[in-house]
Amino acid sequence: MKRVFLSGAVLTFLLVFRASTGWADIQVDFDGSYKDGLCDGWKTEKDPWGTGPVSPIEVSPGFDGKGKAQGLRVSNGSHFVVQTLSGLTPGLDYVVSVRVCTARGDGKFETPKGWVEFGWDSRARNITWPNTNMIWCADPKLDFAQNTGNWIKYTGEPFRAIGTSVTIAFKVGSMDPGGITGQFDNLVISQHKAPPVTYRFPDNFDSTYKFGTADGWAKRFLSGGVTPRWAQAAGRSGSAQHLYAGTEAPGLGIDIGVVKVFEITPNRTYTVSVWISASDSSSRPLTNPFFDPGPIVKFGVDPTGQTTNPTTATIQWKSDPTQYFIMSGKENTWNQFTSAPFQATGNTVSVWLWVEGDNNIGVSAKFDDLTLNSSSDSKP
């Protein structure tokens, strides 16, 4: 695979293509010139509830003890480093990877308190806030045990290029006075050629968990500023997938979930059932969304099998769990919910598990025992 190494000073991104496939990797090595700690071509932003100026840092040496890296030091709120890169082919799938190293705000390589993420927006809006099209990879902040003082490579989930550009962002945040430092190097955007891994129904969530998600489930996280959490939890029997988040400050939103692709026979009608236990983040019933835009718990089926966009109209969402868990006495009890009938357009279908919340109330939901039913034996 040929790659093009780009410094921050390079404004035109040169691509080396493989004649047989037409694909190219774009790589930014952050070895260019810096001004006030910021690599050329990048800009800074911060969320509305953060305080103090954004503090980018020129890090030297970078990954593997060579060159430079882009750093960002934060003690209050979420701060961002952003750039829109060009050179994609519309309709093709890509993945973003980057090396990440973390430290405390004072630079000591001790476990920091905060969050470090990277994200991408295939609509290339060149902003992070507000931007519900920014998809975040939260793996670095779930892996401080490994990346504190060490350069670790993280790769996001595939996305489909809408145009020729994509916005890339690095997020570093903290509410601890000691702060946190995130360092980023060797950013690579490469074409994703591997077919999606598919799984078979049912799923009892008793598999191996990595960074808080059960085997085969991929994290999805729309921008909102809250610290999302994925975890293994006690299920009806064995384990369950836990999605939860608590608001840390006014103005934050919760919009997180997981997605997995399952094999299916096309042109047949099915429903999907899943057991859910949920409450707000204080173990109380959910707030009625008709009176207050409180937490929402839902699941969805996408007959197209896509896994990249949680906002697309092809996902058939089922919001019955929200209505169920607003009733007093139902909080944190297990109940089975069934989707509306659907017909797969191909031989795969994607299942989405999702929670949302407002800026006052967090949310906690556990999902277990996912099954596929033919429409004839489905519950209404």
pLDDT at 325: 95
| Whether residue 176 sits in one domain with residue 33 | yes
270 found inside a domain = yes
Strand 3-6 and strand 25-28: the pairing is parallel
Question: At which of 158, 191, 224 does a domain end?
Answer: 191
| Whether residue 249 sits in one domain with residue 116 | no
pLDDT at 379: 43
Q: Which amino acid is at 174?
A: S
Question: At which of 191, 220, 253 does a domain end?
Answer: 191
| Whether residue 107 sits in one domain with residue 49 | yes
Strands (E) in 114-228, as ranges, are 115-121, 135-137, 152-155, 159-160, 165-174, 180-191, 209-210, 213-214, 218-221
| Whether residue 133 sits in one domain with residue 235 | no
- d(CA 196, CA 216) in angstroms, rounded, equals 10
Question: At which of 191, 223, 238 does a domain end?
Answer: 191
Is residue 317 within 8 Å of residue 303, measured between CB atoms? no
156 found inside a domain = yes
186 found inside a domain = yes
| Whether residue 178 sits in one domain with residue 30 | yes
| Whether residue 181 sits in one domain with residue 59 | yes
| Whether residue 251 sits in one domain with residue 161 | no
- d(CA 319, CA 242) in angstroms, rounded, equals 18
| Whether residue 166 sits in one domain with residue 38 | yes
343 found inside a domain = yes
Q: Which residues form the domain of 278? A: 209-377
Number of domains in the chain: 2
Report which of 373, 278, 370 is spatially closest to residue 332, judged by C-alpha positions.
Answer: 278
- d(CA 371, CA 271) in angstroms, rounded, equals 9
202 found inside a domain = no
| Whether residue 216 sits in one domain with residue 86 | no
| Whether residue 95 sits in one domain with residue 132 | yes
pLDDT digit string (tens) for the chain, length 380 residues: 333 334 443 433 334 333 334 456 899 999 999 999 999 999 999 987 777 889 999 999 999 999 999 999 998 888 999 999 999 998 888 999 999 999 998 878 888 888 999 999 888 999 887 766 788 888 898 899 999 999 999 999 888 888 999 999 999 998 788 889 999 999 999 998 877 789 999 999 999 998 889 999 988 877 655 667 889 999 999 999 999 877 655 555 678 899 999 999 988 999 999 999 999 888 889 877 666 566 889 999 999 998 878 888 999 999 999 999 999 999 999 999 999 999 988 899 999 999 987 656 788 999 999 999 987 544 44
pLDDT at 232: 95
Q: Tell me the CATH number at 130.
A: 2.60.120.260
| Whether residue 236 sits in one domain with residue 109 | no
pLDDT at 210: 85
| Whether residue 142 sits in one domain with residue 26 | yes
- d(CA 185, CA 144) in angstroms, rounded, equals 17
